[in-house]
Chains A and B, each alone.
Chain A
Amino acid sequence: MMDVMGFFDIVLALALPWLGWRLLASSDLFRAVVLFISLGLLMSLTWVRLQAPDVALAEAAIGAGLTGALFLSALRRLERLSESERRLEHAGKREEDETIPPEKRRRAKPVAYVLSLFLLVVFVLLLGWSLGQTPGAKGGLGPAVAGQMGQSGVQSQVTAVLLNFRGYDTLLEMMVLFLAALGVWSLTRVRQTQQGEVPGPVLATLVRLLVPLMIIVAGYLVWIGSSRAGGAFQGGAVLAAAGVLLLLANVTVVRQVPAGLLRWALVLGPLLFLLTAVACMGGGGNLLEYPGQSAGVWILFIESATAVSIGVTLAALYAGGRPPAPSAPEKDNEEGPGSGVDKGGKA
């Protein structure tokens, strides 16, 4: 049994860089994105092998699933843009832009190419050597975390680190997510191109079945996060997947969410987190110092609020712009279903 797992480890460790290489070398962008998503799934397998189930869940949902969906929808939009461009110019002379220059350049400047490859190989070997040379610090902060688990209010060590010991990091991280939504909204607006598009019966049924299930799963993940793998990010990511499904299915309810409510939903998590952090100072404690034995309750409260915001924010990132004035976001219909179902399956 051990040998099988060891063999599996070797294959996995070799497959990761190989996939990465294939993905960047492929001339077809769609293929590259698909390879990227499969790389993400392999990564989450790797996390499982490395005994990091929390990270595995987050990687599968966010790293592979949502990021992949983002890439697919961006690719779709790029293609649509260049199509309309081509139609305007009556000629396909832009085609070469995407595929040929890299190859051309590689042929044109093999010296530079080989040189940069050589430098990178040297870099990897040097770093690998130094990593092998230096024994790591034994356990890092692990013992310190284990020693204080009693006061953390939760059983899961990762959740304790994320929301108690290093909760301030997570607070700022929520700000990063909020900032991303702000950035996307400031840059562009969702276009209402396929207003009248109706989802096929399969997708509609799927949505009706999956979305409630996903909401339950998200709630479960947040709840279980205090003792096992799971938590706000994983739960939020599942919520986001539900949101993406709704967007794909072009459900009218999603389009009719008032913009004000959407804004509040984006802000809810970070705001409540921030206010809780400050409220902790009320009793004479420090920032984010949960009073007395109540840490567990506060953490669950923060996690629920942030999970909602994470879900809404990630779905908004997928929608790819601020809602158009009259109604709420709706998005691409062709490329997405694959990724949406993909996520559904994982949830």
Chain B
Amino acid sequence: MPDTAFWAVCLVVVPLFFALICFVRSDQAAVLGLLAAGLNALAALAMTVFFVRSGPLRYAIGGWQAPLGINFSIDGLSVLLVAMTAVTGLSVSMYARGYFSLRIGSAGEINRHGHQRAFFWPVWLLLWGALNGLFLSADLFNVYVTLEIIGLSAVVLTALSGKPAARLAAMRYLLVSLLGSCSYLFGVALLYRSYGILDMAALARLISPAPLMWASLALLTTGLLLKTALFPLHFWLPPAHANALAPVSAILSGLVVKASFYLMLRLWGDIFAQVLPFAAYVLLGVLGCGAVLWGAVQALLQKRLKMLIAYSTVAQLGYLFIALPLIRLDPGSSAWEAVILLIMSHACAKSAMFMAAGSIFLKAGHDRIDDLAGIKEVLPISSFAFVLAGVSLMGFPPSGGFVGKWLLLGVSLAGGEWWWGVMLVIGSLLAAGYVYRVASRLLVFKVTFFSRRQSIPPVMEWSAVLLALLALLLGLLAGYPLGLLEAGSPFPLHACREVMP
């Protein structure tokens, strides 16, 4: 009898299974990959439906209950993030199908692009399965293994482009990822040493201030911040995200950095929340402010479109960290809702933006912003997608970004800490600046735009525009996903704990 847990298991098993099959039958990789993406989206939908019906749930893998075995913990937060991954992943997959067949069709080098396609699918499916596994898992060490899969596959995907710059970026990414996971593992080891337990919910009940706990928290946080690329640890992100292939950039910026931030939310919003002083949250918030300013200013200075988008990711990640002290301030749950809306709308908008930029790159043959004037004449839909996604990043109504920032603004004013609000507004203005800088070029009227003859497949343009549209509509439809959060959330803090045996 299929239920929430059955679909949750499917969400992990199906992508892994297809990744293995894709590797063996690499001639059919694209078809199998799309099939897996479709099945995954279906499973995510089914899980959401069942979740709404029956509420949060714990699932004991192997039949072994929490302290001994590994459990899935399916609550509002994980369901929302799995759904976000499914939607973004599905449209990136469709885009990737068009992207690779276009490149294989147009270039003489069938070998190179065919090779890229043959390896893109299995690695991406592994990444997808690991993302789902991470969002569903309730076990700190299991999370480490999924983090390793995510990090390693992100590196492999980055290097897939084969360009020297991409290889260097991948190397740096790999080293950062190694350092991050080693630090995380150390933290887990120390936690296990002091509490003898790996289950998150059980741990949350045991946590008490002690020197070893602080050490492990510091190590866990450092590892995750490295992987989330919080300013000033962001140095590896822009080259990696900008030099990867377009669908890979969309995956990296939209989904991969969210994985480690999700863990930050679990640790700082739930497990360690009782013992952490407010000052620690403020510190992260201040770093977030730094990210917003630095990322946006760097984005304004970039000459290349993909670099600009990558720096914009640095800035947008800053908002998520600004939300952390506000979560702590907020007696209700609107800061939580805001941060989840921001995560979701950034995933959609940023993936759409990278996808549109990829189409623009392929059509124009370059991505120098200054020379892109008038490209809307040849690529109207992609340019439109870019601008739509930009609206969400700037936080204009009715986008998801707007609602998220509006909620945060409300919390910061109500809590008497208005300066966070000021930072949000400044960040939005700067974002408007860099989006305007690109949009003003893209949308300028110019009769002749010299472009390559190849035509971009409609699926590439439409998948980007639909995703951007979704980011925009997320603001209008915010009630539905947030209702899901209410239906079975770990928040307000510690509500879910009773489920534990």
Residues of chain A whose beta carbon lies under 8 Å from any beta carbon of chain B: 126-127, 129-131, 133-134, 136-141, 144-145, 148, 164-169, 172-173, 175-176, 178-180, 182-183, 185-187, 260, 263-264, 266-267, 270-271, 274-275, 277-278, 281, 285-290
Given A130-B211, A137-B197, decide whether A176 and B63 contact each other with a Cβ distance below 8 A.
no
Residue from the list A145, A176, A286 in contact with B145, Cβ < 8 A: A176
Query: Could you list 10 examples of A-B contacts with CB < 8 Å?
Result: A133-B211, A137-B195, A144-B67, A144-B68, A166-B142, A169-B141, A172-B130, A182-B119, A274-B16, A286-B62
Chain A residue contacts of B156, Cβ below 8 A? 179, 182-183, 186-187
A287 touches B62 (CB 8 A): yes
A278–B63 CA distance with the chains assembled, in angstroms: 13
The answer to the question of B192 belonging to the interface, with a C-beta cut-off of 8 Å to chain A, is yes
Q: Is the CB of B64 within 8 A of A134?
A: no
A68 to B115, CA, bound (A): 30
Q: Which residues of A contact B20 (CB under 8 A)?
A: 178, 267, 270-271, 274
Chain B 47-74, CB-CB to A under 8 Å as 1, else 0, gives 0000000000001111110011110000
Q: Let me know if B153 is at the binding interface, CB within 8 A.
A: yes
How far does the alpha carbon of A145 sit from the alpha carbon of B198 in the complex, in Å?
14
Q: Is B9 an interface residue (CB 8 A)?
A: yes
Chain A residues in 8 Å Cβ range of B24: 260, 263-264, 267
Cα–Cα, bound, A69→B6 (Å): 43
Distance in angstroms between the alpha carbons of A178 and B123 in the assembled complex = 10
Q: A166-B142, A169-B142, A285-B63 are in contact. List 6 more A-B contacts (CB 8 A).
A: A127-B215, A130-B211, A131-B212, A148-B64, A165-B64, A290-B62
Question: CA–CA, A271 to B13, complex, Å?
Answer: 10
Asked if B126 is an interface residue, CB under 8 A from chain A, the answer is yes
Question: Within 8 Å CB of A180, what residues of B?
Answer: 152
Q: A130 touching B142 by the CB < 8 A rule?
A: no
Given A140-B192, A286-B61, are A130 and B215 also a contact pair (CB < 8 Å)? yes
Closest chain A residue to B206 by CB distance?
A137
Q: Give Cα distance in the complex from A31 to B5, angstroms.
A: 53
* B471 proximity list for chain A (CB < 8 A): none
Residues of A within 8 A of B13 (CB): 274, 277-278, 287
**B196 → chain A, closest Cβ, in Å?**
3
A179 shortest CB reach to chain B, Å:
5
Bound Cα distance A192, B57 (Å): 55
B153 & A179 in contact (Cβ 8 Å cutoff)? yes
Cβ–Cβ contact A286 & B63, under 8 A: yes
B155 at the interface (CB under 8 A from A): yes
Query: Are B211 and A134 closer than 8 Å at their CB atoms?
Result: yes
A134 close to B149 (CB less than 8 A)? no
Q: Considering the chains assembled together, what is the distance between the CA atoms of A310 and B325 in angstroms? A: 46
Looking at B17, B61, B146, the one whose CB has the most chain A CB atoms below 10 A away is B61
B positions within 8 Å CB-CB of A = 5-6, 9, 13, 16-17, 19-20, 23-24, 26, 59-64, 67-70, 115, 119, 122-123, 126, 129-130, 133, 141-142, 145-146, 148-149, 152-153, 155-156, 159-160, 190, 192-198, 210-215
Instruction: Please report the C-alpha to C-alpha distance between residue A267 and residue B17 in the assembled complex, in whole angstroms.
Output: 10
Pairwise interchain contact B159-A175, C-beta atoms closer than 8 A: no
Whether the Cβ atoms of A286 and B60 lie closer than 8 Å is yes
Which B residues are CB-close (under 8 A) to A164?
62, 64
Contact between B210 and A134, CB atoms less than 8 A apart: yes
Do A179 and B152 touch across chains, with their CB atoms under 8 A apart? Answer: yes
Q: Point out the residue from B19, B61, B148, B192 that lies within 8 Å of A168, measured CB to CB.
A: B61
A178 to B130, CA, bound (A): 13
Please determine whether A168 and B193 come into contact, CB atoms closer than 8 angstroms. no
A20 to chain B, nearest CB (A): 14
Roughly how many angstroms separate A175 CA and B142 CA in the complex, as a whole number? 13
User: Are the CB atoms of A267 and B23 closer together than 8 Å?
Assistant: yes
A120 to B197, CA, bound (A): 29
- Give the residues in chain A near B68, CB-CB below 8 Å: 141, 144-145, 148, 165
Interchain residue pairs A-B with the least CB separation, the first 8:
A137-B196, A130-B211, A140-B196, A186-B119, A289-B63, A134-B212, A183-B156, A288-B62
Is the pair A141, B67 in contact by a Cβ cutoff of 8 Å? yes
Q: Is the CB of A187 within 8 A of B159?
A: yes
- List chain A residues, Cβ under 8 A from B115: 186
Provide the residues of chain A in CB contact with B126, threshold 8 Å: 175, 178-179, 182
> Within 8 Å CB of A173, what residues of B?
145
Please, how many angstroms separate the alpha-carbon atoms of A139 and B142 in the complex?
20
Q: Which residues of A contact B130 (CB under 8 A)?
A: 172, 175
A185: which B residues are within 8 A, CB to CB? 119
Least distance between B188 CB and chain A CB atoms (Å): 12
User: Which of B63, B70, B193, B213 sits near A169, CB closer than 8 Å?
Assistant: B70
- Tell me which of A144, A167, A183 contacts B62 (CB under 8 A): A167
- The minimal Cβ–Cβ distance linking B381 to chain A, given in whole angstroms, is 31
A277 vs B24: C-alpha distance when bound (angstroms)? 20
Known: A263-B24, A287-B9. A133 touches B62 (CB 8 A): no
CA gap between A173 and B70 in the complex, in Å: 14
Q: Given the known A-B contacts A134-B211, A287-B61, are A263 and B23 also in contact in the complex, defined by CB atoms under 8 Å?
A: yes
Decide yes or no: A130 and B214 within 8 Å by CB, A139-B196, A186-B119, A274-B16 being known contacts: yes
Residue in B9, B23, B59, B190 whose Cβ sees the most chain A Cβ within 10 Å: B23
A289 vs B62: C-alpha distance when bound (angstroms): 4
- Contacts of B152 on A, CB cut-off 8 Å? 176, 179-180, 183
* B62-A172 in contact (CB<8A): no
B23: shortest Cβ distance to chain A, in Å? 6
A277 to B59, CA, bound (A): 15
Which of A129, A130, A173, A260 has the largest count of B CB atoms less than 10 A from its CB? A130
* Residue among A126, A182, A266, A271 making CB contact with B215, cutoff 8 Å: A126
Shortest Cβ distance from residue B494 to the other chain A in the assembled complex, whole angstroms: 22
> Contact between B211 and A186 (Cβ–Cβ < 8 Å)?
no
Contact indicator B145/A137 (Cβ below 8 Å) = no
Residue of B nearest to A134 (CB): B212
**Do A286 and B160 touch across chains, with their CB atoms under 8 A apart?**
no
Question: Which B residues lie within 8 Å of A179 (CB)?
Answer: 123, 126, 149, 152-153, 156
Closest chain B CB from A94 CB (angstroms): 17
Contact A172 B212, beta carbon cutoff 8 Å: no
Give A167's nearest chain B residue, CB to CB.
B62
A129 near B123 (CB under 8 angstroms)?
A: no
Measured CB to CB, the closest approach of chain B to A267, in angstroms, equals 5
What's the minimum C-beta distance from B4 to chain A, rounded to whole angstroms? 13
Contacts of B60 in A (CB 8 A): 286
**Contacts known (A127-B215, A137-B197, A263-B23); A176 close to B148, Cβ less than 8 A:** yes
Give the chain B neighbours of A139 by CB distance below 8 A: 196
Given contacts A172-B130, A172-B133, A182 and B122 within 8 Å (CB-CB): yes
**A residues in contact with B70, CB < 8 Å:** 166, 168-169
Closest-by-CB residue of B relative to A164 is: B62
Pairwise interchain contact A133-B194, C-beta atoms closer than 8 A: no
